[in-house]
Amino acid sequence: MYGLIGEKLGHSYSVLIHQLLTNHAYQYELIELSQDSLGSFLERKSFEGLNVTIPYKKTVIPFLKGISPEAEKIGSVNTILSKPEGLFGYNTDYAGFLYMAKRAGVHFSGKKVLIMGTGGTSAAVCAAVKDHGARDIIVVSRSGQVNYQNLDVHHDSQIIINTTPVGMYPHNGETLIDLEDFPDCEGVLDVIYNPLYTNLVLQAREKKLAFGGGLVMLTAQAKYASDLFLNQKADDSIIDVTVEQMIHRIQNIVFIGMPGCGKSTIGKAIAELTGRKFIDTDIEIVHRAGKEISKIFSDDGESVFRRFERDVIQEKGKENSLVISTGGGAVLDKKNRMALRQNGKVIFLERNVDALSMEGRPLSINQAGLSQMYQYRLPFYEDCCDERVINDHLIDITIQEIMQKLEKK
C-alpha cells in the first residue's frame, strides 16, 4: 500500500494524481494522522511507500533509518520508502518546485526572492532558489525577524513565493500581501493547489506577471515520488499531461453575460455533456431568500440581493467540477470575479442586445436601458472571461463551439 500522511487531507487531490500518473499501478490512500499517532503508524511499517504533507515533513525524520542527500540538505522529507532494513526518506518537493518555476517562466539567478513561510515546503524552496543563483533570499514568517508588519522594507523583491497554507481551501480568498506594494515584482509562485488559482496568483495574472499555481508542483513532486515507488524514471512529459487531465476534471465552467443571453439554458446542456452539477446562482438566491428575485428587489432593494449573490458565489466558487450560471450583474463585484476565476474557466456568453429577453429581469427595464447597461458592464465581462462565445445562432452550434473551447489546452 502507498499513501499520503498528514493531519487534514480533505482537500487532497493526491489519489487521483497518482492514479493518472501511473495508470493505477498501485493502491494509494489518504491517511489522516494525529500528532500522537504518527510514531506508532510509522513503526508498524504497514506500507511500501508514503508521501508526507503538513505538518509532518520535519517530524518524520527521527523515525527514519536514513535520508537522501537532498532531504538532509533541506531538512525536510516528503517521501518515505519502506525497505527491509528500515524506513528511508527523500525530498521530491525540491524538483517539483523547480519544475513549476520552469513551466511558469520564473528564473531566480541574480534576483531578490521573497519566500513566505518557514515549514517543510519552504525549506525545499529556499534550497532550490539558493542553488539556482538567487541574489538575496528573504524568508517571512508571522513572528520572525522579517514579518508581515515590517515587510515594506523588502518592497523591491522581484520574485514572490508563498509556501504557507494561507488562501488554501476552505479559506479561499485570504492573502498575506498585496502585490501593489511590490512594484519590482516580476513573478509569483504559490504552492497552494486548491483553489487552482489563489488570490495572490490571480493578482499576478491580472498584472501580467509570470505566475505558477501549486497544482503543477503537486503533480511534479508526485511524479518524482512515483518514480521512487516503482524504481523507474518515467518521462517528465507525463507531468503536463496529468496537470491538463486534472484541470479538465476539477475545473468549474462558469457562464457570465447579460440577462437573457442564454446562460442557464446552455449551462444545463454543458453540465449534462461534461457530467458536472449545474448551479444557477439566481435560483440559489431564491432558495435562500425564500422569495423571487423581483420581490427581493422590490421589498429589500438591490443591495440585499447583491449580498445574497456574493455569498452564493463565494461558496460555489470554492467547489470543483460545477457548471455555474451567474446573474448578469455578478461580475460588477471584484470579489465575485476573483471567486469565479479561482477554480473556473469563465465563458462570456454574448448575444445581440436586441435579442436579449427582458422578461422577469428586475433591472432590464427597456431596450434603451438594456443597451446602456451592456456598455457599462462590457469591460467587467471582458476582464473576467477566459473565452467569448457569440450566442446568436442555433443553440446546438453554440454548445458545439463551447465544447471545442473546453477541449482546447
Handedness of CA 66, 67, 72, 77 (dihedral sign): negative
Q: Is 361 annotated as a binding residue?
A: yes
| Domain-located, residue 377 | yes
Check whether residue 264 and residue 379 sit in a common domain: yes
Assign residue 260 the CATH number of its domain: 3.40.50.300
Q: For residue 198, give the nearest of 209, 183, 214 by alpha carbon.
A: 214
Check whether residue 379 and residue 320 sit in a common domain: yes
Q: Is 282 annotated as a binding residue?
A: yes
What's the confidence (pLDDT) of residue 213?
97
What's the confidence (pLDDT) of residue 146?
94
Helical pair 237-250 and 14-22, crossing angle rounded to 10 deg: 130
Q: Answer yes or no: are the C-beta atoms of 188 and 206 closer than 8 Å.
A: no
> Which are the catalytic amino acids?
57
CA angle (320, 214, 207) in 5-degree steps: 95
| Longest Cα separation, the chain | 79
Q: Is 377 annotated as a binding residue?
A: yes
Give me the number of domains the chain comprises. 3
Q: Identify the segments of the chain with pLDDT beneath 70.
A: 358-365, 409
What's the confidence (pLDDT) of residue 10?
84
Q: Which residues contact 357 (CB under 8 A, 6 or more apart)?
A: 259, 260
Check whether residue 331 and residue 302 sit in a common domain: yes
pLDDT (tens digit per residue) in 7-23: 999 889 999 999 999 99
Grid cell 489546452 is found at 409
What's the confidence (pLDDT) of residue 368?
78
Q: Is 187 annotated as a binding residue?
A: no
28-32 and 2-6 strand pairing:
parallel
Check whether residue 52 and residue 30 sit in a common domain: yes
Check whether residue 30 and residue 103 sit in a common domain: no
Q: Indicate the pTM of the whole model.
A: 0.94
277-280 and 322-325 strand pairing:
parallel
Check whether residue 181 and residue 63 sit in a common domain: no
What's the confidence (pLDDT) of residue 112?
99
Distance CA 164, CA 121 (A): 8
What's the confidence (pLDDT) of residue 359?
65
Check whether residue 146 and residue 190 sit in a common domain: yes
Check whether residue 267 and residue 398 sit in a common domain: yes
Distance CA 102, CA 96 (A): 10
Distance CA 299, CA 39 (A): 60
Phi, psi of 79 (to 5 degrees): -140, 135
Q: Which residues contact 237 (CB under 8 A, 6 or more apart)?
A: none
DSSP states of 45-80: T--SEEEE-TT-TTTTGGG-SEE-HHHHHHT---EE
Q: Is 310 annotated as a binding residue?
A: no
What's the confidence (pLDDT) of residue 408?
80
The amino acid at residue 235 is D
Q: For residue 340, give the nearest of 328, 326, 358, 351 by alpha carbon.
A: 326
What's the confidence (pLDDT) of residue 370?
87
Q: What is the domain range of residue 330? A: 251-407
Distance CA 347, CA 391 (A): 11
Task: Copy the grid coordinates of residue 138.
Answer: 528573504
What's the confidence (pLDDT) of residue 2?
98
Assign residue 40 the CATH number of its domain: 3.40.50.10860
Residue 350 CB coordination number (10 Å): 19
Check whether residue 193 and residue 261 sit in a common domain: no
